[in-house]
Structure 1
Amino acid sequence: MMWMWARWLDRRDDESGDVPGWVLITVMTAGLVGVLWAIAGSQLSAMLRQALQSVSG
């Protein structure tokens, strides 16, 4: 009975995580950024250029 408790405690401390879940989140985030950049890239560049010009004078 004690060995079962020790194995459960050992598994509980395993911090390997859910690797496929993190990979999916990373891929979906990169895809979302890619889609937004494709749709609004020129507008985002213009906004950045305008902001940098207003700061530099």
Structure 2
Amino acid sequence: MNIPNDPMMLVSYLNTQLRDFYPSLEELCKSLDLDQQQICDKLKTVDYSYDAATNRFI
């Protein structure tokens, strides 16, 4: 899966996917064959972290 490389574009893309199609980050990563830890680490560099209660990066 080709996802945005820029962290800010990535957070926007992932939040849209989570809102519209996936009940959790785990499900999104499984479906798109992405490394969940790698995604979280990348977004942590721009102060975003996954919030399971709201199912989005904040």
- TM-score by length of structure 2 reads 0.29
- Which structure dedicates a bigger proportion of its chain to helix? 1
- Which structure dedicates a bigger proportion of its chain to strand? 2
Q: Name the structure, 1 or 2, with higher relative contact order (CA <8 Å, separation 6+).
A: 2
- TM-score by length of structure 1 reads 0.30
